[in-house]
Structure 1
Amino acid sequence: MPIAKLTRRGLASIQPGSARTIYYDADLVGFALRVEPTGRQTYFVEYRPGAGGRNVAKKRYTLGTTQELTPEAARKQATDVLAAVRLGGDPAATRKKERAVPRFSDFAISFLKDEADRLKPRTLANYKSYISKHLTPALGTLQIDKITTIDIAKLHRKVGKTKPTTANRLLEVIGSIFRHAALAGHVPKGTNPASGISAFREEGRERFLSPEELARLGNSLALAESEGFPWKPSESKHVPKNNQRTIIDRHACDAIRLLILTGLRMREVLNLKWTDIDFERGIALLRDSKTGRRHTVLSAPALLLLSEREALGAYVIRGDTSDKPRADLNRPWRAIRTHAGLEDVRIHDLRHSYASVAAAGGVPLAIIGKMLGHAQAATTQRYAHLADDPLKAAADKIAHRIAAAMQGNNATILPFGPGASDAA
């Protein structure tokens, strides 16, 4: 067991041999230098963890090479490590545990795999997109426990310059990933570097169909499944020049009708099975709604539409195969809304339109929220201003009578105060 002074002068006299050689420092017990035949020299600390004693196996904690550390710096680190050991620490075990913490890119893959069965398909697809396009490029090389609020805030600001809504969704994904990391033991419970970062203001988008627009939509649906839409002229030699038309699948048209007649979400309609419909009671069971399993009331027009259709498979809206639901309505909806002159209308706006008609008709917001399956009352509040329409009509009626009386016309002036009644 060679002993040497691990100082600048002492290192100058140490030469590599034909085999690995360990030199222990003459002054600091546990501080040592490993010399390889190649000439590589590495500082390390040797200690017995816990209470020590000869029955406890020795551990070695590598500090760095002589090219990375000066003798003074290595001695200072060795002193700190040995002090931690005297206080009951085990630096080598701590380092091993730290190195076992995965990088963000690797942990994100396991997160998506573990959550695949719990998350809804659309949510899972969104998570994959946010992680691959934004989170992994910015955080991928960092260990999950080394990611800080500063890292997240920087990314949030960068993305938010052009896509504030996406930037806000990233904060939500980060929160989900770190809850998963806490369950895996990689970070303390409650750790979330996105916590406290203020979200960007998102512009609410309200698009409701007017009665005239609903009429155009109905006409386009009828034409789509009967005669079809005429092809647009094309200069391509591969397109037939005769007057051909595009007929939309009847099941797609029925799905769109059900969306506007029920206010359901698209996936709730596409996942609806014939066995979920109780025609006698006029209700449908939504097995996998966004807010959980629930029942919804079906209107008379919706029930009539369903009763006139033949069951051609397990699902009300037939997909590519009889045993699987339809994937989406993107292509038929684009064609139908274009023909109806509703290019700015999203398919989810049909749900908003259903709620807007209900609110303007005097249906209480609490009832609207229950019909739409809102988990939070605040979600229904977006329709509150539409519920004021009946009040506005009453106010207009009163004001017109008062204005007529003030102009000297023969009109009944409404009495005010307790016990007042409408004499008209």
Structure 2
Amino acid sequence: MPKLNKQFVDKLKPVERDTLYRDSSVIGFALRVKPSGAKTWVVQYRNKAGRTRKLAMKNSSAATPDEARRWAKTTLGQVAAGRDPSAERNAELGAMTVAQLCDEYLTAAKKGLVLGKARRRKSPLTIATDIGRINGHIKPLLGQMAVKAVTHRDIVKFLDAVQLGKTAVRRVKDKPRQGALPAGGPGAAARAVGLLGGIFSHAVRRGYRDDNPVRGVQRPADSVRTTFLTMADYRQLGAALKAAEAEGESRNAVDAVRLLALSGCRRGEAASLAWPEVDLTRGMLRLSETKEGYSLRPLGRPAVDLLAARPRHAKSEAVFATESGAPYRDLGRAWDRIAARTTLRGVTLHGLRHSFATTANALGCSEPTIAAMLGHSRGTITSRYVHHVDDVLRAAADRVAGAIARAMAGEKPAAMNDRQGD
């Protein structure tokens, strides 16, 4: 029998049928060669039951003879210790993968079996965000791994890869309907690892593994966007919206941006807003599904007037309905076009929500009032406040929305705190 080294492998001649060359020094170590020229390193052994087993080395074509020899010695050492590497490989191949775990997690979340903030079931908007992170980051990097095989180190490598943008997707210019595309950076990595921790907690609860490999992984601080609109910026935005509408921009887009600016709603809340959730008489939104669960929001008079002037689709309850009746879904690209008409940089649609809160603060609104207007769940105090001080909330919403509306109309602001002036 030859010694399976580089010199022997380099001198191998083509074979007419599958041929197994056994090593002279490591019993059980062999090289299988096919007529096609494909070479596979294998070990052959008997398990504790006395049955003969063969195990092929993964990625054999890329392994050197020395690497294959080390692998064979390690594998045969496991056999000597009473293990059955071939059976373990087969069990691993049949085990649940991270991709399958993610699918099960999402199915459970849609049924209300996965709880989010304040132990509430996850909202459809949150689940949609989870799907984006799973498809954009988790499945590409970890999807094929067995759930039981994932280690703390694998999670750290995942975190680094997302931070470095290895899963980021660039938006293609002028290509419609791209939706939310995966992004890289510390914020994306922190949120993806946070979701991954929840997914592996689900695995622990279901008995798929005994521990959570995400536990103890140090996540980067999520980047907090501090860009907000001043009154001068609001005047720019108002002029841009007026010009965009005059030049044929979708009314859905223009009105949706105005509503976000005047109400502090989240983008997804506006996009999915339905007429049964709108109470124009009392100046309220009764949102059935938000990140915080059911949410009651006061509307200032300018926001009420905006919604009252909206046309209604004959066959759809969507406030921002397309001709087919489906909810309008192209707000992100429309915002890019509108913002390009201004000198504003770094302001996102979510930044309009931050700006609403900043304006409210500049007008002297208290933190509980601002939290209630934005629909933040801050414990029982805010909950009681929302349900028992409706008139106060509406008055506050009138002040904030009124100041923003006047600025967007080009009027000079009344006296405000320094940061919101000109």
Q: TM-score under structure 2 normalisation? A: 0.60
C-alpha displacement of 1:341: 2.5
Structure 1 residues 131, 286: closer, same or farther in 2, change over 3 A?
closer
CA contact 1:149–1:194 (8 Å) conserved in 2:
yes
Structure 1 residues 357, 134: closer, same or farther in 2, change over 3 A?
closer
Query: 2:153: which partner in 1?
Result: 150
Provide Cα deviations, 1:355-376, integer angstroms capped at 9, x if missing partner.
Answer: 1010111101111111111234
Provide Cα deviations, 1:175-209, integer angstroms capped at 9, x if missing partner.
Answer: 12212322443112xx2211111111333221111
Query: 2:202: which partner in 1?
Result: 180
Name the CA distance, whole Å, in 2 between partners of 1:75 and 1:341.
Answer: 69
C-alpha displacement of 1:320: 4.6
Name the CA distance, whole Å, in 2 between partners of 1:391 and 1:252.
Answer: 30
Query: 1:167: which partner in 2?
Result: 189
CA contact 1:317–1:325 (8 Å) conserved in 2:
yes
Query: 2:284: which partner in 1?
Result: 283
SS at 2:189 equivalent: helix
> Where in structure 2 are the equivalents of 1:14-413 lying within 5 Å?
42-46=45-49, 76-78=80-82, 100-112=94-106, 115=109, 123-124=126-127, 126-128=129-131, 130-132=133-135, 134-160=137-163, 163-188=185-210, 191-225=211-245, 227-228=246-247, 247-312=248-313, 313-322=316-325, 324-376=326-378
C-alpha displacement of 1:318: 1.7
Which residue identity is paired with 1:368? I
SS at 1:342 equivalent: coil
SS at 1:284 equivalent: strand
Provide Cα deviations, 1:73-116, integer angstroms capped at 9, x if missing partner.
Answer: 698545x89xxxxxxxxx99999876643233444455455546
Structure 1 residues 101, 183: closer, same or farther in 2, change over 3 A?
farther
C-alpha displacement of 1:155: 3.0
* Alignment RMSD: 3.7
Which residue identity is paired with 1:315? A
Name the CA distance, whole Å, in 2 between partners of 1:392 and 1:223.
Answer: 30
Name the CA distance, whole Å, in 1 between partners of 2:127 and 2:351.
Answer: 23
Unaligned runs of 5+ in 2: 1-42, 56-68, 113-121, 166-184, 383-414
Structure 1 residues 276, 133: closer, same or farther in 2, change over 3 A?
closer
Question: Which protein is bigger by CA-based radius of gyration?
Answer: 1
Structure 1 residues 154, 223: closer, same or farther in 2, change over 3 A?
closer
Which residue identity is paired with 2:96? P
Name the CA distance, whole Å, in 2 between partners of 1:134 and 1:310.
Answer: 40
Which residue identity is paired with 1:154? K
Structure 1 residues 337, 283: closer, same or farther in 2, change over 3 A?
same
CA contact 1:63–1:74 (8 Å) conserved in 2:
no
CA contact 1:174–1:192 (8 Å) conserved in 2:
no
The count of aligned residue pairs is 296
Query: 1:57: which partner in 2?
Result: none
Query: 1:402: which partner in 2?
Result: none
Which residue identity is paired with 1:101? A
Q: TM-score under structure 1 normalisation? A: 0.60
C-alpha displacement of 1:327: 1.5
SS at 1:45 equivalent: coil
C-alpha displacement of 1:132: 5.0
Name the CA distance, whole Å, in 1 between partners of 2:310 and 2:110.
Answer: 35
Which residue identity is paired with 2:275? W
Provide Cα deviations, 1:304-330, integer angstroms capped at 9, x if missing partner.
Answer: 1222233224121123522x2111412
Provide Cα deviations, 1:116-137, integer angstroms capped at 9, x if missing partner.
Answer: 6666666556545544554445
CA contact 1:61–1:92 (8 Å) conserved in 2:
no
Name the CA distance, whole Å, in 1 between partners of 2:275 and 2:235.
Answer: 28
Name the CA distance, whole Å, in 1 between partners of 2:237 and 2:376.
Answer: 26
Query: 1:32: which partner in 2?
Result: none
CA contact 1:101–1:186 (8 Å) conserved in 2:
no
Structure 1 residues 160, 278: closer, same or farther in 2, change over 3 A?
closer
Name the CA distance, whole Å, in 2 between partners of 1:164 and 1:221.
Answer: 33
Which residue identity is paired with 2:353? R
C-alpha displacement of 1:63: 7.0
Name the CA distance, whole Å, in 2 between partners of 1:144 and 1:392.
Answer: 54
